[in-house]
């Protein structure tokens, strides 16, 4: 039986996996994606600049460049602690909201296209004689529209929870 991986190696593996995902999903540079992944897996305690340099084994200038880019895009923010000159970087609380809003916009566009397709196919089916095999099957579009509606409701509910939690934490 293999020994369970320690937490540090599990975190490193997750940073790599999440980094690759973020690279592709958000079109980020590899190191920027790893910085974001590190911050996601660190949470609210934040990571210092020096911690990122050490953990990601990258040069200070490269980390600085990517941190500036991530901050400018609204993905990353920082806080300071009284009596401590260091900045602690975290994933911007608004970043998840931003991702959800972008997702909802895409789903809304998909929903409209599928509704238009469904309307067209329904009208076309009404014009076709009783030949059942030449009629359009409408079930996929109906099911997909239902899915998009339910998914949208779930995302809105999650977004409200995140916003309320953020307001409580302030």
pLDDT computed for residue 36 by the predictor = 95
The model's confidence at residue 50, banded by pLDDT at 50, 70 and 90, is very high
**What average pLDDT does range 54-72 have in this prediction?**
95
pLDDT digits (tens, 9 = 90+) for 82-104: 999 999 999 987 888 888 898 89
**Residue 33 and residue 24: Cα distance in Å, rounded?**
9
The model's confidence at residue 164, banded by pLDDT at 50, 70 and 90, is confident
pTM of the model: 0.72
pLDDT computed for residue 16 by the predictor = 95
**What average pLDDT does range 54-82 have in this prediction?**
94
Q: Which of 139, 161, 150, 142 is nearest to 107 (CA)?
A: 150
pLDDT digits (tens, 9 = 90+) for 141-161: 999 999 999 999 999 999 898
**Residue 37 and residue 7: Cα distance in Å, rounded?**
15
Backbone angles phi and psi of 151, in degrees to 5? -65, -40
> Mean pLDDT for the chain?
90
Lowest-confidence segment of 59-73, 103-117, 119-133 by average pLDDT = 119-133
pLDDT computed for residue 8 by the predictor = 86
**Residue 163 and residue 112: Cα distance in Å, rounded?**
27
pLDDT computed for residue 111 by the predictor = 95
């Amino acid at each position: 039986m293999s020994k369970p991986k320690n937490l540090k190696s599990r975190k490193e593996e997750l940073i790599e996996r999440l980094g690759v995902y973020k690279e592709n999903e958000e079109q980020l540079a590899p190191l920027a994606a790893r910085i974001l992944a590190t911050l996601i897996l660190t949470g609210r305690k934040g990571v210092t600049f020096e911690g990122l340099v050490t953990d990601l084994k990258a040069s200070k200038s490269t980390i600085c460049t990517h941190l500036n880019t991530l901050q400018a895009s609204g993905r990353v923010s920082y806080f300071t602690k009284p009596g401590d000159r260091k900045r602690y970087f975290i994933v911007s609380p608004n970043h998840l909201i931003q991702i959800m809003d972008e997702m909802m916009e895409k789903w809304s566009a998909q929903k409209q296209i599928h509704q238009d397709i469904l309307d067209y196919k329904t009208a076309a089916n009404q014009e076709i004689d009783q030949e059942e095999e030449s009629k359009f099957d409408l079930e996929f579009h109906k099911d997909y529209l239902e899915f998009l509606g339910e998914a949208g409701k779930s995302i809105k509910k999650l977004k409200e929870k995140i916003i309320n939690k953020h307001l409580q934490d302030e």
